[in-house]
Chains A and B, each alone.
Chain A
Amino acid sequence: MIEAPDRAYLAALCLARAGLRVDPEKSYLIESRLAPVARREGFVSPQGLVGALRGRSDDRLAWAAVEAMAMSDTEFFRDRPVFDRLSAEILPELARSRGGAPVRVWSVGCGTGQEVYSLAMILADLPASAGPWDLLGSDLSERNLEKAQAGLYSQFEVQRGLPARALVRHFEKKGEGFALSPQIRQMVRWRRVNLLDDLSSFGRFDLVLCRNVLSGLAPEAHTRVRTSLMQALAPGGRLVIGLRDTLGGSFKALAPGLGLYAAA
């Protein structure tokens, strides 16, 4: 059991480093997120891990804890109607409006890659005349990015949201898991990004997916990230947020039920 002062310390650490809203009262959640990190780092318990964080200045360990608290569930084609709309309408329209110039897409908080790979699989089915496509996946966690880049998923993961026809078309069996084809994997670039940093050097994007990120942020970080997202959208660009995320003003809702917005 992690003591209340240690939980408060952890919540403050997550807020300072990544703008995360962590409720120190949720001891079960904190324990379950930190348990794998504690095991990996050789502590007997999550309490031991947080104790060590408070006792010494260990930047790597602090980030490992923060990244674990930032983790969220993901799956292929999560919230399917969103991908249906992207595939039928948004992506072809963006390609048309760019007239052969690269269409830039950014999956913000991409986790282990399922979201941006779902997009890549859709794009592989569009006519070759649409595009070219420039896909970027970013996440706070290097571990997530390593897994995303490897494109190797468990039997359980490839059954969550991924149609069987897409499985046989784009994956091959590798040991107990399934490996995504190099053709799809090489469509995506990866980058570690902390959303609190200055993001202006990334340039502008025609489509930004930032789903299930905003709802985990503290108010100040939420405002800051919202501004960054606005600056990251190219003219005519589209933003997709998660179904439980809220955005606030300065964006124009196109299909709020799908989390679809445009710069106002």
Chain B
Amino acid sequence: MKTCLVVDDSPVIRKVSRRILEDLGFEVAEAANGVAAMAWCDAMMPDVILLDWRMPEMDGLEVLRRVRASRGGSVPQVIFCSGETEIERIREALEAGADEYIMKPFDGAIVAGKLQSLGLLQVRAA
């Protein structure tokens, strides 16, 4: 079973994301901030990280840089999940090493589509 770490300071977003990902067959862990996210990654690198951008103390870009610099940190596919919708911000995230980008608000179809395009989910015939 593939694993996904959901990093978001909003408990509501974490709950919604968890439900969507579990329905898609993922095992889900949650982190409410960057420090907790790094602790998860040090213990067991997930297959996917769903990563918020704006968080107090350590923001998503910083988490991404630290993950990529850590041992095994090139393994997880990182999907930014943020309220930022400016093209320049999305480009910045991709250039920093994110694999995909989801703009909030999102739904299950969007998450499933992004996971499919990253090869993490079998494409079901539409």
Q: Given B87, B91, B94, B110, which contacts A159 in the complex, CB threshold below 8 Å?
A: B110
Bound-state Cα–Cα, A171 to B106, Å: 19
Contact yes or no, B125 A171, CB < 8 A: no
A243 within 8 A of B: yes
Enumerate chain A residues within 8 angstroms of B39, measured Cβ to Cβ. Answer: none
- Distance (whole angstroms) from the CB of B64 to the closest CB of chain A: 14
Stretch from A30-38, A162-170, A223-231, A246-254 that touches the partner: A162-170
Contact yes or no, A155 B103, CB < 8 A: yes
Bound-state Cα–Cα, A75 to B114, Å: 13
What is the interface of chain A, defined by CB distance below 8 A to chain B?
A: 75, 77-81, 155-156, 159-161, 163-165, 167-168, 171-173, 243-244
Contact yes or no, A172 B106, CB < 8 A: no
Enumerate chain A residues within 8 angstroms of B100, measured Cβ to Cβ. Answer: 163-164
B55 within 8 A of A: no
Q: Give the interface centre of A81, A159, A161 by most chain B CB atoms within 10 Å.
A: A159
Contact yes or no, A160 B110, CB < 8 A: yes
Contact yes or no, B87 A243, CB < 8 A: no
Residue of A nearest to B109 (CB): A160
> Can you name 22 A-B residue pairings with CB atoms under 8 Å?
A75-B113, A77-B117, A79-B123, A80-B116, A80-B117, A80-B123, A155-B103, A156-B110, A159-B106, A159-B110, A160-B109, A161-B113, A164-B94, A167-B87, A168-B90, A168-B91, A168-B94, A172-B87, A173-B85, A173-B87, A244-B125, A244-B126
